[in-house]
Chain A
Amino acid sequence: MGMAPDTQTAPRPPAKAPAARATTAGEFVKSVGLRWDTAVGALLVAVFVVGLGTTDGFASGENLAFAFNDIAEIALIALPMTLLVVAGQVDLSVASMLGLGSALTGALWNAGWAFELIVPVVLLVGVAGGLLNGWLVTRVGLPSLAVTIGTLALYRGLASVALGSDAVTDFPQTYASWAVDTTTIPGTFVTYPIALFITLAVATAVLLHSTAFGRSLFAIGAQEEAAYFAGIRVKRFKLILFVVTGVFSAFAGIVFTLRYGSARADNGLGFEMLVIASVLLGGVDFDGGKGTLFGAVAGVLLIGVLKNLLTLNDVPNEVQVIVTGLLLVASVLTPRVIATVIERRHRRATGAAPES
């Protein structure tokens, strides 16, 4: 991933390429308007409009509150995941950390702890989990994919140890009603978890796109060694990202627990794929170095709205999975096909001069 040298598919021109080339290619892209994250945003709007026009009940505030709240945990985790993928890393252990957070919440609640104390403890466990992932990646030097496949199993196992096969259900109403889709910010269909998500999304967007830290992440994802020699503290930054992801995942575990009123060790099983699918769908490049937070958010919302709309129209689950799968393949394939086409045209135009 991040370690891999620049791939031939990247539209970013090699350092030695003449500047003129870059401008023509860039202008071409601009003239066609083919930016995948914009496309996903447009698709989201289109799906929304189709839903309004065709499906009874889709536009009701209740349904929208539910549809968005239903993806609250995935959306929350998608924020730090976007940063990780931009930096050329990935964390597959997020859903297991969600499960561990949920199981721990249940186990401690059963043990008579105060809910106000359980929350910080669970978040600390998220920090610890993130530190372990980050330490193995940055200090031991293992690839993040391999590390987090391991911790995916580890954290889920710990969740089972914490709570066994029990389900804890009697959470306090005051907190439970905070997370459910029937409690919204008065006058809107925005639930509290989604309001929190919006706030954090804005903060993350600013962080990624308008700060030195954000630019460093793109640099790390594009060319890790170059970033290192440019004076970016690669390992430190990666470690921070893993810790933040751990905390967000553990917190998502609390939200999940309150939303369903049920703490179980198998909560959120398989969610890591939904999170990563949403981020990729939003056009964040799995090779690192490219993508926007807007795209990732649009990806999450698209998956959520599409699922709601298809379910309202009684489309069977199998078909829904196929639709999501096709969208994903398209999201990975389309930008590359476009890049290849541009490059070919460009080569033809410049007389097929061999590279370098």
Chain B
Amino acid sequence: MIIRTAARRRAAATAATACALAVALTACSGTTKDSAEKDTTNAGTAAKADPNAPLKKGLKLAFLPKQINNPYEKIVDEAGIAAAEEYGATGKEVGPSDASASSQVSYINTLIQQRQDAILIAANDPNAVCGPLKQAMKKDIKVVAYDSDTAKDCRQLFINQASSEEIGRSLVQHLGEQIGYQGKIAILSATQNATNQNTWIEFMKDELKLPKYKNMQLVKVAYGDDADQKSFQQTQGLLQAYPDLKGIISPTTVGIAAAARYLGDSSYKGKVVLNGLGTPNQMRKYVKDGTVEQFSLWNPEELGYLGSYAAAALASGQITGAEGEKFKAGKLGEYTIGKDGEIILGEPTVFNKQNIDKFDF
């Protein structure tokens, strides 16, 4: 018993000391968020661009996707690797099997050791990959982000699949043409706080304010949470609530496929126009049976192709990543670097009965 009490007293004393220490430490001027110096080093190279420099032969490019075996990114990477062969370079795809923030870091380091000429990365976390990417740039390895950007000072270029404004506005323009700018329309989105979806929807609403859409009325934005069944039910609900609905825009690949499945088996087939963002393999059936006339998506193959050429242009000294520089991206033509090193792939591709069989993704 005596020992017990003593031990307890000792424990209490330790706790008290720890608390006192903590208080003392706060009193001292510690390193806080406000006092911490901001890292302002810009990794942009000072070298001058030579727009006439030829693409170097034998460049080594490495694609680092968010996760290996992600089917979408596999298409992007394979197209990029194929493009590299076009101009006499070699490309490869390496990456982690889990899409965690830190797993990409080991790969960046090994790519540095392997002395690749350029790293193309779809970042899982914009900041966790920053340290090693900066180290890569210090060793004159070019860094190009695609699909999912890193912090701006950790890469030289970001290949953006399409501008949000372009996506939002073009979907409304296409649907307007299809329904003759007349009638009620609805949007079937993913989750209520999906950033990209909401940005697109804002641009859709803005486009709808133009006078030519004055006879079109957006009656509802429904959320299918990017779950197949919920999207299906939401489509059903929309048509029950608005039997005279003329069109639905679903800017998510899950939503548009579920909506097409519902429409295809219902009496609304051919009467309600469905448009949005989908993949050809998912939508082929519905395009062929007439449920859907057209839908859009950026072409992931072109995304990889452009990324590959941009990385080569950087590594060959044609560009440095500064705004306004131009380079040629093979069959895609000339591109200009925008603000913050961003390059926009272009308008989304429209898929319809005529061209859908040319795509396999």
Contacts and interface: CB of A to CB of B under 8 A. Distances in A.
Interface string A301-342: 000000110011010111001000000000000000000000
Interface of B is mostly: loop
Contacts, number: 118
B32 A260 contact: no
B33 A167 contact: no
Interface stretch (A56-64, A84-92, A214-222): A56-64
A74 to B, nearest CB: 12
Contact of B131 (A116, A180, A264, A321): A180
Contact of A307 (B106, B127, B151): B106
A318 B97 CA distance: 8
A57 B68 contact: no
Max chain A C-beta neighbours (<10 A), residue from B26, B38, B95, B109:
B109
Given A57-B113, A60-B113, A116-B30, A171 B128 contact: no
B94 interface: yes
A173 B37 contact: yes
B179 interface: no
B28 interface: yes
B18 interface: yes
Contacts of B94: 311, 314, 316
A117 interface: yes
Interface in A242-264: 256, 260-262, 264
A171 B36 contact: yes
B2 to A, nearest CB: 16
Interface in A131-185: 167, 169-175, 180-182
B39 interface: yes
Contact of B128 (A62, A109, A115, A262): A262
A112 B114 contact: no
Interface residues of A, number: 49
Contact of A317 (B33, B34, B68): B68
Contact of B109 (A56, A63, A171, A174): A63
A260 B128 contact: yes
A183 to B, nearest CB: 11
B96 A317 contact: yes
A182 B112 CA distance: 13
A28 interface: no
B42 interface: no
Nearest to B36: A172
Interface residues of B, number: 42
B106 A172 contact: no
B101 A262 contact: yes
Contacts of B92: 314
A116 B28 contact: yes
Interface string A271-302: 00000000000000000000000000000000
A121 interface: yes
B102 A260 contact: yes
Contacts of B113: 56-58, 60, 62-63, 312
A171 B125 CA distance: 16
A1 B9 CA distance: 34
Contact of B30 (A58, A114, A256, A260): A114
Interface string B72-107: 000000000000000000001011111011100111
Contacts of B53: none
B148 interface: no
Interface in B24-71: 25-26, 28-34, 36-39, 68
Interface string B141-173: 000000000010000000000000000000000
A267 B102 contact: yes
A157 B128 CA distance: 22
A116 B100 CA distance: 28
A120 B21 contact: yes
Contact of A312 (B32, B95, B114, B131): B114
Max chain B C-beta neighbours (<10 A), residue from A174, A312, A317:
A317
A249 B233 CA distance: 46
B127 A262 contact: yes
A261 B31 contact: no
Contact of A110 (B33, B96, B127): B33
B110 A182 contact: no
A311 B26 contact: no
A255 B34 CA distance: 21
A47 interface: no
Contacts of A268: 102
A237 interface: no
A226 interface: no
Contacts of B30: 113-117
B64 to A, nearest CB: 12
Contacts of A267: 101-102
A316 B131 contact: no
B135 interface: yes
A175 to B, nearest CB: 7
B131 A114 contact: no
A66 interface: yes
Smallest CB-CB A-B distances: 5 pairs = A114-B30, A57-B113, A169-B127, A262-B128, A172-B36
Given A120-B21, A308-B110, 10 more contacts: A56-B113, A70-B109, A115-B30, A169-B151, A256-B102, A261-B127, A268-B102, A269-B100, A311-B107, A317-B97
16 contacts: A56-B113, A57-B114, A66-B106, A113-B32, A114-B29, A114-B31, A172-B31, A260-B102, A260-B128, A262-B125, A262-B127, A268-B102, A270-B98, A311-B106, A311-B110, A312-B113
